[in-house]
Structure 1
Amino acid sequence: MFGGLFGSKKSGTGALASYNAAPRPNKNTPLAELELLAVDMETTSLKAESGRILSIGWVPVRGGEIDLSGAGYVIVRQDGTGVGESATIHHLTDDEVATGIDEEEAVSRLLEALAGKALLAHFAVLETSFLDAACRRHFGGAFSAPVVDTFALERRHMERMGTYPRGEDLRLARVRTRYGLPSYRNHNALTDALACAELYLALLGNIKGDTMKALG
């Protein structure tokens, strides 16, 4: 759902300062003109205070269209620490993450792509919490963004229809199946970002309203 700003808008330094200087969508932005960036992260855990970002994928959405020309994917170097048991989930090997880029550079690239857009994700708290932690580490400021969460949009729709979600009902793959979307391999950041972008377009059919306010 559209959650206003995650965190407070503080300028920070470097890439965060440039990102914060860009104008942002707001609740009155028409959906036909809304620019979003579907973002997915693979991490070593679900907790930003103890986990590490392993990879980031993103795909722009403009109005009702996905723009694959602006898609991006980075693997984050771990500098001597392995991926551990989390490799069984995201399928990234120690050799792959050893040849990635620094976290600061990876987050900088994401912030550049995200400038002027709303962040789109499925269960967005993971992406926003890890981004906030990384921005505080590298740029001395909190991360903030307008957020659209396909997890929350589908949950709200199901509740309005009197079908209350349970267990796996709101997992990305399960929701996509209900909307007739193709099956993708899970836990690749770029593929999951694309999967989220496609789901968002499918969910627009449930939205009553023509501005970003209708997403919240």
Structure 2
Amino acid sequence: MLGHLRKSWAQRQLADPQYAYLFDEQTDELVSFDCETTSLNVKEAEILSIGAVKIRGNRVLTSESFYVVVKPEGVMQSANVKVHGLRPRDVSQGIPVQEAIKQLLAFIGGRPLVGYYLAYDVALVNKFLKPMLGIKLPNRTIEVSSIYYDQEIKNHPNGHVDLRMASMIQTLNFPDLPRHDALNDAINVALMYLTLLARTQK
């Protein structure tokens, strides 16, 4: 009941009715998404790129992926380049963050979102979305590290569960795409989600 009331309230805050489709949850597909940014501090971070990929059934639809490079408003630090490989000249050809957010919304629609430490990526998108449309992302979210932790702690109730992405991928035993690339990370997370799902069904 509370969820329905929150959804109704958020719908009334929507400044542009053409985005009402975000509130129509699509249960036949999910979207894994990731952002590369200038900082881990949401308040000061700028988005440099966004990658996303759809999941349907037990398949990652790499043919239906999304990737944009965003032109930041501030000056990039050299330390950032070492992490994500995006140079100032790369992002100088990017699109404004508001346009990137609009394209992302069109891609995800009302699909639930899957991610690794997804709360950060959602908070970052919301930082730009709220001034644009008066709402935050209404999509249901699924955190893969939480699913992984719940599974692993049953096998090691008194132990430590390593939630680093590299460790999770190694344990789940699937090919690791080069990380710190928004689209590759989104695909990695989608594969992780499906692998975790398969483990629950054994």
> Is this a same-fold pair by TM over 0.5?
yes
Aligned residue in 1 for 2:171: 178
Contact 2:71 2:94 in 1 (8 A): yes
How do residues 3-18 of structure 1 correspond to structure 2 at under 5 angstroms? 9-10=10-11, 11-14=13-16, 17-18=19-20
Give, as a single letter, the amino acid of the residue that structure 1 aligns with 2:164.
R
Aligned residue in 2 for 1:205: 198
Q: Distance in 1 between matches of 2:125 and 2:75?
A: 20
Q: Distance in 2 between matches of 1:103 and 1:116?
A: 21
Cα shift readout 1:95-139 (whole Å, capped 9, x = no counterpart): 011110110111111111111211010111111111111111322
Q: Distance in 2 between matches of 1:177 and 1:154?
A: 12
Matched, 1:50 2:44: yes
Q: Which among 150, 166, 181 is matched to residue 188 of structure 1?
A: 181
Q: Distance in 2 between matches of 1:16 and 1:192?
A: 30
Aligned residue in 2 for 1:142: 136
Contact 2:54 2:60 in 1 (8 A): yes
Shift of 1:35: 1.2
How do residues 1-216 of structure 1 correspond to structure 2 at under 5 angstroms? 9-10=10-11, 11-14=13-16, 17-21=19-23, 23-25=24-26, 34-79=28-73, 81-163=75-157, 164-166=159-161, 169-207=162-200
Q: Distance in 2 between matches of 1:181 and 1:104?
A: 35
Q: Secondary structure of 1:70's partner?
A: strand
Cα shift readout 1:44-77 (whole Å, capped 9, x = no counterpart): 1112211111100001001111112210110101
Q: Distance in 2 between matches of 1:13 and 1:188?
A: 32
Contact 2:38 2:76 in 1 (8 A): no
Q: Secondary structure of 2:63's partner?
A: helix
Give, as a single letter, the amino acid of the residue that structure 1 aligns with 2:36.
E
Shift of 1:144: 2.1
Extract unaligned runs of 5+ from structure 1. Answer: 210-216
Number of equivalent positions: 195
Identity value in percent: 26
Cα shift readout 1:178-212 (whole Å, capped 9, x = no counterpart): 11111221100000000011111100123369xxx
For normalisation by structure 1, the TM-score amounts to 0.81
Shift of 1:79: 3.9
Give, as a single letter, the amino acid of the residue that structure 2 aligns with 1:90.
H
* Structure with the bigger percentage of helix: 2
Contact 1:16 1:141 in 2 (8 A): no
Extract unaligned runs of 5+ from structure 2. Answer: none
For normalisation by structure 2, the TM-score amounts to 0.86
Q: Pick closer, same or farther for the CA change 1:19–1:130 going to 2, 3 Å.
A: farther
